[in-house]
Amino acid sequence: MSSMPVDRRRVLVGAGALGAAAMLPSPASAKGSVTAAIYPGTWDEAYRSIVAPALKKAKDVDLALEPLFAVDQIAKAQAARGAPPFDAFVLDPGPRASAIERGLFEKFDPSKLANASKVPAGFADAHGIAVNTQIVGIAYNPKKLPKPKSWKDLFAEPYLSRLGLTGFQTTFGTVSLIEISKAYGGSDTDVEPAFVEVKKALPKAAAVMTPASLPGLFQQGQIDICYTNTNNVASLKARGVDIDFAFPEEGAITFITTLHIAKGAENIENAYAYIDAALSAEVQAQLMKPPSSMIPTNKDVVLADLPIKSLDELSKMKTHDWSKINPLRAGWIERFNKEVSK
């Protein structure tokens, strides 16, 4: 081993050369790139396998995806103070409202997108545009239970003893509990009636779940009914679980997942190209298939295997003002913990 003496100086020279190489511009293999934050899991997989190739094909732009939960996206963008580590956000209405409050978005111009005219009214604004819709209602096992009609059915037999409750941690849990409150006389900001019902239900309900354990508990028959979104229903159904979605008569709930351009983003034009690609009918039709089972926002997509026939049905569903919910949510989460804890 003496033929190749390695002394400190040589190592330093080598390391310096490596460092310099890293600083050189990499050979341009594409027209550029865009970095987008994406939810870990289903979203990450779906966007990696469907949106990234579509963007590459359409605009020759490389899509780099950074898997981050909503809270991390906001924390990172805020910590970066105007030099965000990614060009685009993906957010649910709650985090979207707090990001707007903190001024984390570049002003969004829907007219720069070829597909902006394809989304329903109200799905695009000066902050961003919706790429996915979620519908929240009641999931139940049709082999064990008759079809539930109302939110109130959840808290009466035969449903109550098969009911799985979740708290305010998720968007679907929060909006469901708000609608349950309204069925019992509450409002968007008064969820007291839901707490009363949950408290009464505790001795009989099948489970108080963490959202992450919902699919497993449903699959194993620990619970046969719960409030959740259509994505959960579709992915369980695809695995052969007996599960169906029911619209409560008070009205199902809908909310949108939106893409936004980060303030101070490096690749604004490419970010628009990315969002346009994610909105294209071709991409959205693929995202609609299991396992991602995302409800499209592009009206040109022919809906299949979804609980709705047309996107027009969404306009009749309940929506919520998250700028009012956000300030109250931390308190609700804590209160739920306290009410259900043994």
Partner 1 sequence: MASVAATVAPLSRARRDGVEWRLASPLALVYAAFFAAPLLLLLAISFFDDTDLTRVGGSQWIKFFTDPFYLSVIGHTLKLGAVTVLATSVLSFPLALVFCASRTGVQRLLLLIIIMPLLTSVVVRTFAWIVILAREGVINQTLLALGLSATPLPLLQTEFGLVLALTQIEMPLMLLPLITVMRTIDPNVLDASRALGASRWRTFFQVILPLSLPGWVAGSTLVFASSVTAFISQTVIGGGRLVFLPSVIWQQSMVVYNWPFAAVAAVTLLVTVLFGIGLLGALGAHFARR
Binding site for partner 1 (CB under 8 A): 69, 71, 74-75, 98, 165-169, 202, 206-210, 212-213, 216-217, 220-222, 329-330, 333-334, 337-338, 340-342
Q: How far is the CB of 176 from partner 1 (least distance, A)?
A: 14
Return the number of the residue (73 or 286) whose C-beta is nearest partner 1: 73
Return the number of the residue (51 or 165) whose C-beta is nearest partner 1: 165
Return the number of the residue (303 or 333) whose C-beta is nearest partner 1: 333
Q: How far is the CB of 222 from partner 1 (least distance, A)?
A: 5
| Distance of alpha carbon 136 from alpha carbon 226, whole angstroms | 11
Task: Give rounded-to-5 percent helix, strand, coil for the chain.
Answer: 45, 15, 40
Q: How far is the CB of 195 from partner 1 (least distance, A)?
A: 14
Return the number of the residue (285 or 340) whose C-beta is nearest partner 1: 340
Q: How far is the CB of 104 from partner 1 (least distance, A)?
A: 13
Q: Is the peptide bond before 291 cis (omega within 30 degrees of 0)?
A: yes
| Distance of alpha carbon 84 from alpha carbon 264, whole angstroms | 7
Q: How far is the CB of 89 from partner 1 (least distance, A)?
A: 15
| Distance of alpha carbon 176 from alpha carbon 194, whole angstroms | 10
| Distance of alpha carbon 160 from alpha carbon 155, whole angstroms | 5
Return the number of the residue (52 or 226) whose C-beta is nearest partner 1: 226
Buried b (16+ CB within 10 A) or exposed e, 72-99: ebbebbeeeeeebebbbbbbbbbbbbbb
Q: How far is the CB of 209 from partner 1 (least distance, A)?
A: 6
Return the number of the residue (11 or 126) whose C-beta is nearest partner 1: 11
Return the number of the residue (206 or 265) whose C-beta is nearest partner 1: 206
**Cβ burial, residue 10 (10 Å; 0-12/13-18/19+):** exposed
Q: How far is the CB of 48 from partner 1 (least distance, A)?
A: 21
Residue 211 tokens read as: 């959202």
Return the number of the residue (242 or 244) whose C-beta is nearest partner 1: 242
Of 227, 332, 259, whose CA–CA distance to 47 is shortest? 259
C-alpha distances out from residue 81 to 87, 106, 214, 260, Å: 14, 13, 37, 17
Q: How far is the CB of 10 from partner 1 (least distance, A)?
A: 21
Return the number of the residue (44 or 269) whose C-beta is nearest partner 1: 44
State CA 46 to chain mean position distance: 12
Residue 276 tokens read as: 């346009």
Q: List CB contacts of 110: < 8 A, sequence separation 6 or more.
A: 116, 124, 125, 129
Of 254, 235, 229, 224, whose CA–CA distance to 154 is shortest? 224
| Sign of the C-alpha dihedral computed for residues 312, 314, 315 and 317 taken in this order | positive
Q: How far is the CB of 294 from partner 1 (least distance, A)?
A: 22
